[in-house]
Amino acid sequence: MSRRLIQLLSDNRRPFVPVASHIRAQGNEATVYLYDAIVGDRATAEWWGGICPQDFVPALHALDVDTIHLRINSPGGDVFAAKAISQALREHKATVVGHIDGLAASAATDVACACDDTVIAQGAMYMIHQAWTFAWGNADDLTATVELLRKVDTQLADTYVTASGQERAQIEEWMKAETWFTAEEAVSNGFIKAVASDSKDTSAQAQGTWNLRAYTRAPAGMQSSARLPQIPGHASGDHRDRINQRLRVARVLQPVE
């Protein structure tokens, strides 16, 4: 896990919410809320908050519906965890409609690309960039890490080229620059099908902002977080108390600047 990713999780730390609270099913349709960072495993999710494929993927496979509305408001996270979630979405029998309600940044864009159809709310944003990590060791170790990052970037670029129809050179330029697209720009460049029309389905709870100082080029108005997006449902009081106690200890023992 890179230091920037740790910073992103730390800056947006929140109590763990069980995956069942992210899903609402009725009849032949289900709404799934990806309103959190994407993390690699349950232990990380319980410590920092976040959604992990270990819980999300089995819950998704259990949905016996014809249509899934995936509502996205995520600052990104672990790229391999996002790949696992994306593959589960592609394999599901349902038609998956992605709704970017607030932000799809970094790894969350890979998940958006896995949807059969995607719309974005007016005022929402979409960001792509090169993969992050950190490394230590000798020259061979560092060279191997660079080679791995290049492979990850190539796979991400493949995904964006397929989704957008843009030339690879343009995609790579955008990734290198850490490019933030407005809703209209995401549509005009082919990443998203359309800007969503106003409707009662767009959750007002998506209007909270993320702390995005871990990123280099986040728009000035998105650099700090007054409040975080809320997910429908909540953890039990006892579980919330346990997680909050862990977070208080983490702030003392493992501060991230």
Give the C-alpha separation, 121 to 100, whole Å: 6
Q: What is the pLDDT of residues 23-36, one digit of tens each?
A: 999 999 999 999 99
**Mean pLDDT taken over the chain:** 85
Give phi and psi for 7, each to the nearest 5. -65, -45
What is the mean predicted confidence (pLDDT) over 119-133? 94
First CA to last CA distance, the chain: 16
Is the distance from CB of 185 to CB of 195 less than 8 angstroms?
no
Q: What is the 3-state secondary structure (H, E, C) of 136-174?
A: CCCHHHHHHHHHHHHHHHHHHHHHHHHHHCCCHHHHHHH
**Please, which pLDDT band fits residue 204 given cuts at 50, 70 and 90?**
very low
246/181: higher pLDDT: 181
**Domains assigned to the chain:** 3-252 (3.90.226.10)
120/224: higher pLDDT: 120
* Long-range CB contact pairs, 117-121, < 8 A, 24+: 117/193, 118/191, 118/192, 118/193, 119/192, 119/193, 119/194, 119/195, 119/196, 120/183, 120/186, 120/187, 120/192, 120/194, 120/195, 120/196, 121/183, 121/195, 121/196, 121/202, 121/206
Give the C-alpha separation, 241 to 231, whole Å: 18
Give phi and psi for 187, each to the nearest 5. -75, -45
| Residue spans of beta strands (DSSP E) within the chain | 23-26, 29-34, 67-74, 95-105, 117-120, 125-128, 179-182, 194-195
Q: How many CA atoms lie within 13 A of 138 on its CB side?
A: 1
Closest of 80, 180, 82 to residue 128, by C-alpha: 180
∠ Cα 156 162 163 (to 5°)? 90
Q: Is residue 206 pLDDT above 90, yes or no?
A: no
- pLDDT the model gives residue 160: 98
- pLDDT the model gives residue 222: 64
**Please, which pLDDT band fits residue 198 given cuts at 50, 70 and 90?**
low
Report strand pairing: 95-105 vs 117-120.
parallel
Q: What is the pLDDT of residues 35-91, one digit of tens each?
A: 999 999 999 999 989 999 999 999 999 999 999 999 999 999 999 999 999 999 999
256/137: higher pLDDT: 137
**Please, which pLDDT band fits residue 178 given cuts at 50, 70 and 90?**
very high
pTM metric for this prediction: 0.82
Q: What is the pLDDT of residues 11-22, one digit of tens each?
A: 988 888 888 889
**Please, which pLDDT band fits residue 255 given cuts at 50, 70 and 90?**
very low
Report residue 52 as tokens: 């992990």
- Residue percentage of the chain with pLDDT more than 90: 65
Q: Is 235 exposed, middle or buried (0-12, 13-18, 19+ CB in 10 A)?
A: middle
DSSP 92: S
